[in-house]
A and B are shown apart, each in its own frame.
Chain A
């Protein structure tokens, strides 16, 4: 039997074998150890591109996925320019502002088709001064995904793809391979208003991490938060049954 190898060295060897996080430009933490651990330790890796999709009608409207991406990109927007490329220009800036995103600094681009959207995304990611770029496309195949990864590595910008078929059409085919660093599925979740107050509570979404470096996945219910982290994790779903939500933290 060989001598016992230290656990840390084994972990380092595994991480090197993963090959996904070499040259990572930092990470955006969500403030929750479970979510950060599923993403590889420190949080959402920057300098890569990520994919967010919805199901059902979300596949056409792209609301929940767009809101998730807006919450995450809002934390990056103060470091540089953010570009949003879309085929259907129905993004409403006051709604973005309500999610904490500085909408008057967002550069919006309207494109005619998918190819142009991916070209604009690739060009924006490769430009100096751009810290994040978002595009709404129906599908990113492996070759285009590899090009996006290369573009991100040029200047360390972070890319986001919101899967959306803005003008309807058939349901997307079964999930094909993707070159994204992480792949998410976002669905709306019922909100819980503050005790005794009428109306709606802060918006909640159900996040499903389908693919991440390290092959982990998970299910969480997150809530919009005005704090330093983009979203507040309310519950972690170990199985399809809904776990009991955690009580809200007191402010401060």
Chain B
């Protein structure tokens, strides 16, 4: 909307000619074309889409600059030969855009201004079947610009209207006017734009660049190889990178230190943290044991440190005195977890979490030792009513059991060659296998019953406790198999 009145911002190419133009009021347009379909203009989304298209266009040239609201500049100096010429490059680009539903007009010229002018105001576009790309030969900008209106020089709309009022409709007429008077009357921008279009004054474009990675680099005057030198440069580069992270107020979780030697090989060391951090001292300490594995060879010339997986990290007051009844602060033990994880390996440090499962070996899962802050408290808890052993064997061990009657707890059992007499026993606790985990087409009946276990907690005469289970229900035709699963 412009000044409270809905105006047309863009109109697409219609199948039959209609008299719609930009800045036409919406009411007027609707009266001209009864079945007009209107949509709300969204400039922010359009800008985002334009940036996405310019990112895509990077496949044609590394130097792409978006030109709001609906154009792109590509600097194809030196890349046209990859497509076999400028014509082929432009045809490929316009064809791909058209296939994506974006009919476009393109122009190639030696200067930015000439290309823009020809693409926006040039002749020969619009009619179906006409060429969709124009190439201005080098040195032919003047000839190409002559018939174009003054607005094609990218000066302001007010200035262009003034030229129209004066009858200066073509750039050829503008070039015939005395320059200093034009500059005095209409501003210095007009002659400058003309000079830029003709190539006499350089023009700079702002190209889109990917976000700079967080890298710090140090190079040495002489190759180093001594271990204390490696430690020293690790500390120095950590300080440098962490200072840069601090200016951006981010911390990183993954750091890669690379030593580049005179022989051209790169030695990489990696450190990953549980919580994002930018503390150079702890980082150097984490790298210290890994530096011993670096083989300097004939010497190391350059060291780089790259930080990845950055996350916002604000400054925080660190408590150095935990106090008497301090809570379990994850931040306080994060350095310890990092040191242990980086020295022993990722799977060596964990915390247990309850998992809803009947089978004892699946009732506890390991998770990362430091939980992220957004994890809600676990609703499941281990059931305190059912006895569970302190030590659980990964593989249950077979035992020989003497039991009087079905479902009676054992009276006597032999484990590892030692006979234990049972004094007290509890049970049975039947844990059925999880039917949802078995394949549906398990053959013959009774198959699922075989997996059920009857657990007994028994205590022998000395007081030691064992967790035995019988596999499957009691069957009179074959002896039951008993196993020892854990010790209390």
Contact = CB atoms under 8 A, between A and B. Distances in A.
Interface of A: 57, 61-64, 66-67, 70, 78-81, 83, 90-99, 103-112, 116, 120, 123-124, 127-130, 155, 187-191, 193, 198-201, 203-206
Contacts of A97: 381-382, 384, 388
A67 B340 contact: no
9 contacts: A61-B487, A63-B488, A66-B391, A83-B336, A90-B393, A92-B486, A109-B349, A111-B348, A129-B326
Nearest to B339: A123
Contact of B423 (A70, A93, A190): A190
B388 A92 contact: yes
A98 B457 CA distance: 14
Given A92-B389, A200-B465, A109 B348 contact: yes
Given A63-B390, A93-B382, A199-B426, A129 B463 contact: no
A95 B391 contact: yes
A123 B342 CA distance: 14
Given A63-B487, A96-B390, A127 B348 contact: no
A47 B364 CA distance: 31
Contacts, number: 159
B394 A108 contact: no
B101 to A, nearest CB: 54
A200 to B, nearest CB: 5
A95 B392 contact: yes
A154 to B, nearest CB: 12
Interface stretch (B88-96, B141-149, B317-325): B317-325
B280 interface: no
B30 interface: no
A203 B465 contact: yes
A93 to B, nearest CB: 4
B130 interface: no
B175 interface: no
Contact of B462 (A83, A124, A188): A188
A204 B424 CA distance: 13
A188 B488 CA distance: 10
Interface in B89-110: none
A98 B381 CA distance: 11
Nearest to B318: A128
A81 B349 CA distance: 14
A129 B336 contact: yes
A105 B340 contact: no
B104 to A, nearest CB: 59
B364 A93 contact: yes
Nearest to B409: A199
Contact of B349 (A63, A66, A108, A200): A108
Contact of A104 (B336, B354, B392): B354
Contacts of A90: 391-394
B460 to A, nearest CB: 9
A97 B380 CA distance: 13
A198 B424 CA distance: 8
A129 B332 contact: yes
Nearest to A155: B322
A191 B387 CA distance: 15
B390 A190 contact: no
A95 B333 contact: no
Interface in B424-456: 424-426
Given A63-B464, A90-B392, A203-B465, 20 more contacts: A62-B391, A64-B464, A81-B333, A92-B391, A93-B354, A93-B382, A94-B360, A95-B389, A97-B382, A104-B354, A108-B350, A108-B352, A120-B344, A123-B336, A127-B333, A129-B322, A129-B329, A187-B463, A188-B464, A199-B425
A103 B328 CA distance: 14
Contact of B322 (A57, A80, A108, A205): A80
Contacts of A155: 322
B225 to A, nearest CB: 28
B348 A110 contact: yes
A8 B328 CA distance: 41
A130 B336 contact: yes
A116 to B, nearest CB: 7
A93 B363 CA distance: 9
A201 B424 CA distance: 9
Contacts of A130: 333, 336
A90 B326 CA distance: 30
A79 B423 contact: no
A98 B328 contact: no
